[in-house]
Amino acid sequence: MSTAIAFDFAQRKIETVPLSDVAAQVAADAYCWVDIDALGDVEHALVALGIDPATIERVVENQAEGQFQHG
């Protein structure tokens, strides 16, 4: 299971959002934190976030880092 949290600093609001809403939250100037719990969920979660295939391949092949920052 993966979790996404959106931080809207202007409104001083924090909320849990579905992965499918992360792109819209970012477009609305929110900062989003995403925790992908299981290695098997990584590819599915990144596709849901709209990350391009080349970047997904880099992330999946480089799990030693344990984190990925986009944007």
- Tell me if 10 is assigned to some domain: yes
- Tell me if 11 is assigned to some domain: yes
Q: What are phi and psi of 61, to 5 degrees?
A: -80, -10
Q: Give 23-49 as a DSSP string.
A: HHHHHTT-EEEEEE-SGGGHHHHHHHT
- Tell me if 69 is assigned to some domain: no
- Tell me if 38 is assigned to some domain: yes
List the domain range (segments joined by +) for residue 15.
Answer: 2-61
**Cα–Cα distance for residue pair 22/19, rounded to 1 Å:** 5
- Tell me if 68 is assigned to some domain: no
- Structural domains in the chain (count): 1
- Tell me if 29 is assigned to some domain: yes
Give the percent of the chain with pLDDT over 70: 80
Between 46 and 71, residue with greater pLDDT: 46
Q: Do 9 and 31 touch, CB atoms closer than 8 A?
A: yes
Q: What are phi and psi of 11, to 5 degrees?
A: -90, -5
- Tell me if 18 is assigned to some domain: yes
What is the structure's pLDDT at 14? 95
